[in-house]
Amino acid sequence: MAEKEALFELRAVTKSFGGLVVADKLSFHVDEGEIVSLIGPNGAGKTTVFNLVTGLYRPDSGEIRFESRDIVGLPPHRITQLGIARTFQTLRLFLNMTVKENVMAAAYGHTRSTVFEAIFRLPRARREEREIAQLAEEKLAFFGQRLAGYRHDQQAYNLSYANRRRLEIARAMATNPRLLLLDEPAAGMNPAETHELTELIGRLRTEGGYTVLVIEHDMHVVEGISDRVIALDHGIKIAEGSFEQVATNERVIEAYLGLRGAA
Amino acid sequence: MGSGGDIPEIPARPDERERPRVGVDEWVANVEDRREERAGIAGLAGRIDDLVPPWARLAAFGLVAASLPLWMERGDLFAYGIFTLIYVLLGLGLNVVVGYAGLLDLGYVAFFGFGAYFYALLSSEQYGIHWPSAVSFPVVVVSTALLGLVLGIPSRRLLGDYLAIVTLFFGQAFVVFVNAANPTVRGKGLTGGPNGIADIDPNDLFGYELTTRRQQYWFILGAVLLVLIGLHFLSESRTGRAWRALREDPLAAEAMSIPVNRLKLMAFAFGAAIAGLTGCMFAAVLTAVTSGNFALPILITIYAAVILGGIGSLTGVVIGAIVINVSFQFLAPENPQDNARILFYAVIVLLLLLGIRPLWRLAAVLGGTIAFGLMAHAIAEAISPSWTAGAVVEGGRFGDVVADWVIIPADNERFANAAYIALVVAILALTKIHGWWRTGLLVPTVYLATIVWETSFVAQPAVARWILFGALLVFLMTKRPQGLLGTPRVEIV
């Protein structure tokens, strides 16, 4: 390949469960610094893509490349350590840990102190502990007042739904990723919160320096943030381009509204 | 793209004195706190746990515990002091596996047994090996940790109940192996079969042998304090957090860069290492080990201690172990039966105290029961003096009072059986009725329970202590599932 390789790329990735093909020769890429949206009707295979990328599923064939290496077959925690972090559509926080602990736990992958060092409070363990705490506060500060101050020591189950979504993002950020995968970050948020989130995703790029791949149903969010939009249906990429291009694409409209099938 | 500046202003936390407005998420968020405040004695314990810093708690515990040998008799120090410390250590190790990592390990006692037997082999006449503790302790602890690792390898893919079954099998297999397999090594049964291994050397502190109970007690206390400190630091480290994360949600933990399988193995190995360490000291204190020391009852006891105290809380484990062992030793068969009697009535009153609200209803039940008893006793005596002619078993001063209140006929046995059946029926009926009817029925039920106690159970404290204990645990778990000092766990919100 003559030109520079993309930060992240799917090459003909296929996955099926029994007879059901959930990803069919799927290929797309995300460049460094881009915000790309993944859209499609329910069951289109969007979350499956995330599960394939993060190693929860293993593709039947195809390549998933990140920073010019194939990450297929690596265990999920290795993939996260390489720099791909995700949030969960269904919210999988560590509910019985505090807000700050949730974020601190995610720093496991880039800290090194051993059990022995922790028990005896050796210098490296102490230093890392300080760094992790600071990192967590930094990441939480990204959300302004929402997760500030007194919230740090609250159990995660005390948080409202929208704040849990924010905490999921903060937790993913604490793994020090280059690529953030956000799975429906605006689900369950009211319009004001959705608006705030749209700006937040922009800041993730400008201030955080992350590249973002986001699954989203709310078209206002998609329109507001996306450099590029990729539309999926039945595990097949049916459209790709700017928001306007995809939104007016006939196949996308069909997939959402089912014109042909609505007889 | 939007810039950072225009996030809408969110009001800061409302002032404490300000009345919270319904619907404000701050108000919703504090529901748990307010609920906690109302939780009575146990809630108070929880708040103390929050307020007193860990080092102060440790210092208080250390000082009180260290002063124990100064005023306690030798026999009591063994039964109450040393055994409590052994349970504390075992509970702390189990807490790592079950409390932090959330792995239901029912084979835990096998690690304890392995440690004890291994120490026995290294420091007894069995093979004429007499290693100093400074050598044998590390060897045993590391080997037990490795055994934990080996058991962990097949177990790490098993979840929940399946892990429990496999580890339970391992625990039983250990007992059978020690007891029955007893392979011959260098012309001798390795584990001594049912006889176990005797004449085990005492622990030594760099050559100084710890032979008196006091020395042993302080030695074990030292180990407990060190383990407590180490575990406190560990639980606040990346490893401790990762364990709790995998307990909460293994999949999310894995996705957040935590190598879940490796951490499960580490938890197994770490818990096993503490159990192995405990085994070394246990074997040395008893000077003999047999397989019976490492069977199911002790597993149940340790679990009870950890659950009672509150899974995941170090202070809770210590308190749980103290409560469990002290009440157990208190009820030991060699103690006077009046101990058991006092505990029984205390438990009844405690259960009523915790279970009945509001207060006037509680007062009605207590007063009603006393009046009911006096009345029933008087009526029975009026009908025929032989109905109340039976004597209380081993009555102390308290027993004499009870004898004037509980009906104990001269011909005990048939009456006792009838009372037992009536009690079961009454308890079943209690679960089916509500309101005033329940309060009313509670009075004769409590009275029946005392009759059953005085006529059947008090003569068999070995049985009675398990029954008492079970009742207390069941009740505590329904009232406060997180244990005395555990934080309430929320599964789904």
Q: Mean pLDDT throughout B276-300?
A: 92
- A90 CB-contact burial (10 Å; exposed 0-12 / middle 13-18 / buried 19+): exposed
Which of A75, A88, A97 shows the shortest C-beta gap to B244? A97
Specify which residues B124 forms β-bridges with.
Answer: B129, B200
**Contact across the interface for B490 and A95, Cβ inside 8 Å:** yes
Of the listed ranges A138-152, B103-117, B180-194, B195-209, the least confidently predicted one is B180-194
A116: contact with B, CB 8 A cutoff: no
The string of pLDDT tens digits covering residues B397-446 is 777 788 888 888 877 778 888 888 999 999 899 888 888 888 889 899 99
User: Which of B145, B282, B143 minimizes the C-alpha distance to B223?
Assistant: B282
Question: What angle is formed at CA A162 by the lines to CA A214 and CA A154, rounded to 5 degrees?
Answer: 120
Interface probe for B, chosen from A95, A159, A194 (most Cβ of B below 10 Å), is A95
DSSP B98: I
Look at residue B47 in the predicted model and tell me its pLDDT: 67
- Residue B141 confidence class, pLDDT cut points 50, 70, 90: very high
Look at residue B395 in the predicted model and tell me its pLDDT: 66
Of the listed ranges B285-294, B351-360, B459-468, the least confidently predicted one is B459-468
Report all structural domains of chain B as residue ranges with CATH numbers, in order of start.
Answer: 44-330 (1.10.3470), 338-459 (no CATH)
Q: Tell me if A39 sits within 8 A of A254, measured CB to CB.
A: no
Distance of alpha carbon A178 from alpha carbon A157, whole angstroms: 28
Distance of CA B208 to the CA centre of its chain: 34
What is the spatial order of strands in the sheet that A179-183 belongs to?
A: A84-86, A179-183, A211-215, A35-39, A228-233, A236-241
Q: Mean pLDDT throughout B50-61?
A: 85
pLDDT, greater one: B359 or B237: B237
A239-250 in b/e form (b: 16+ CB < 10 A) is bbeebeebbebe
B257: contact with A, CB 8 A cutoff: yes
Of the listed ranges A77-81, A86-90, B97-101, B488-492, the least confidently predicted one is B488-492
All residues of chain A having their beta carbon less than 8 Å from the beta carbon of residue B245 are 94, 97, 105, 108
Which of B6, B238, B257 shows the shortest C-beta gap to A199? B6
Look at residue B92 in the predicted model and tell me its pLDDT: 96
Domain boundaries, chain A: 8-93+161-257
The owner of tokens 């195809």 is A62
Look at residue B2 in the predicted model and tell me its pLDDT: 40
The string of pLDDT tens digits covering residues B299-357 is 999 998 998 888 888 888 999 999 888 888 877 777 776 777 887 888 888 888 877 77
Look at residue B114 in the predicted model and tell me its pLDDT: 95
The DSSP annotation for A5-21 comes to PPSEEEEEEEEEETTEE
B161: contact with A, CB 8 A cutoff: no
Please provide the size of chain A in residues: 263
Q: Mean pLDDT throughout B465-477?
A: 76
- Residue B189 confidence class, pLDDT cut points 50, 70, 90: confident
Q: Tell me if B258 sits within 8 A of A108, measured CB to CB.
A: yes
A21: contact with B, CB 8 A cutoff: no
Closest residue of B to A173, CA-based? Answer: B256
A42: contact with B, CB 8 A cutoff: no
Closest residue of A to B24, CA-based? Answer: A160
Look at residue B10 in the predicted model and tell me its pLDDT: 54
Distance of alpha carbon B73 from alpha carbon A46, whole angstroms: 71
Q: Is the peptide bond before B358 cis (omega within 30 degrees of 0)?
A: yes
- Which helix (H) or strand (E) is A161 found in, with range? helix A161-173
Q: Mean pLDDT throughout B250-263?
A: 93
A107: contact with B, CB 8 A cutoff: yes
pLDDT, greater one: B313 or B224: B224
Closest residue of A to B233, CA-based? Answer: A119
Q: Tell me if B134 sits within 8 A of B122, measured CB to CB.
A: no
Positive or negative: CA dihedral A7, A49, A99, A193: positive
Would you state the structure tokens that stand for residue A153, as one six-digit string? 């020591």
Q: Judged by CB atoms within 8 Å, which residues 62-91 of A form the interface with B?
A: 75-77, 80-81, 85-86, 88
Low-confidence stretches of chain A (pLDDT < 70) are 1-3, 259-263
Rg (Cα) of chain B, in Å, rounded? 27
Q: Mean pLDDT throughout B135-159?
A: 89
Look at residue A170 in the predicted model and tell me its pLDDT: 95
**Contact across the interface for B244 and A172, Cβ inside 8 Å:** no
A106: contact with B, CB 8 A cutoff: yes
The string of pLDDT tens digits covering residues B110-138 is 999 999 999 999 998 888 888 988 899 99
Q: Tell me if B137 sits within 8 A of B284, measured CB to CB.
A: no
Look at residue B22 in the predicted model and tell me its pLDDT: 45
Q: How far is CA A178 from CA A68, A83, A197, A211, in A?
A: 13, 5, 19, 6
Grouping H, G, I as helix, E, B as strand and the rest as coil, residue B130 is strand
B16: contact with A, CB 8 A cutoff: no
Look at residue A263 in the predicted model and tell me its pLDDT: 44
Look at residue B17 in the predicted model and tell me its pLDDT: 45
Q: Is the predicted ipTM greater than 0.90, yes or no?
A: yes
All residues of chain B having their beta carbon less than 8 Å from the beta carbon of residue A118 are 233-234, 237-240
Distance of alpha carbon B246 from alpha carbon B260, whole angstroms: 7
Compute how many other C-beta atoms are within 10 angstroms of the C-beta atom of residue A79: 24
pLDDT, greater one: B393 or A38: A38
Closest residue of B to A172, CA-based? Answer: B256
Look at residue A262 in the predicted model and tell me its pLDDT: 47
Q: Where are the beta strands (DSSP E) in A60-151?
A: 61-66, 69-70, 84-86
Distance of alpha carbon B236 from alpha carbon B460, whole angstroms: 46
Write down the mean pLDDT value for chain B. Answer: 83
DSSP B333: T
- Residue B21 confidence class, pLDDT cut points 50, 70, 90: very low
Q: Tell me if A95 sits within 8 A of B248, measured CB to CB.
A: yes
Q: Mean pLDDT throughout B55-65?
A: 90
Q: Mean pLDDT throughout B370-399?
A: 82
Q: Judged by CB atoms within 8 Å, which residues 117-136 of A form the interface with B?
A: 118-121, 125, 128-129, 132
Under the phi-then-psi rule, with left for phi > 0, alpha for psi from -120 to 50, and beta for the rest, what region is A25?
Answer: left
Q: The domain A8-93+161-257 belongs to what CATH superfamily?
A: P-loop containing nucleotide triphosphate hydrolases (3.40.50.300)
Q: Tell me if B168 sits within 8 A of B157, measured CB to CB.
A: no
Interface probe for B, chosen from A82, A119, A160, A168 (most Cβ of B below 10 Å), is A119
Look at residue A19 in the predicted model and tell me its pLDDT: 87
Which of A104, A118, A154 shows the shortest C-beta gap to B233? A118
Q: In this structure, what are the phi and psi dihedrals at residue B200, rounded to the nearest 5 degrees?
A: -80, 140
**Contact across the interface for A171 and B13, Cβ inside 8 Å:** no
To the nearest 10°, the Cα dihedral for B209, B210, B212, B213? -160
Which of A75, A85, A129 shows the shortest C-beta gap to B237? A129
Q: Judged by CB atoms within 8 Å, which residues 31-90 of B form the interface with A?
A: 32
Q: Judged by CB atoms within 8 Å, which residues 205-244 of B form the interface with A?
A: 230-231, 233-234, 236-242, 244
Q: Model's pTM, two decimal places?
A: 0.84
User: Which of A50, A86, A48, A52 minimizes the C-alpha distance to A70?
Assistant: A52
Residue B49 has pLDDT above 90, yes or no: no
Distance of alpha carbon A27 from alpha carbon A229, whole angstroms: 14
All residues of chain A having their beta carbon less than 8 Å from the beta carbon of residue B12 are 145
Distance of alpha carbon A126 from alpha carbon A108, whole angstroms: 14
Look at residue B1 in the predicted model and tell me its pLDDT: 40
Look at residue B16 in the predicted model and tell me its pLDDT: 44
Closest residue of A to B256, CA-based? Answer: A106
- Residue B45 confidence class, pLDDT cut points 50, 70, 90: low
Q: What's the gap in Å between the CA of B166 and the closest CA on chain A? A: 26
B256: contact with A, CB 8 A cutoff: yes
DSSP B21: P
**Contact across the interface for B487 and A93, Cβ inside 8 Å:** no
Which of A85, A105, A119 shows the shortest C-beta gap to B241? A105
The owner of tokens 């290492």 is B273
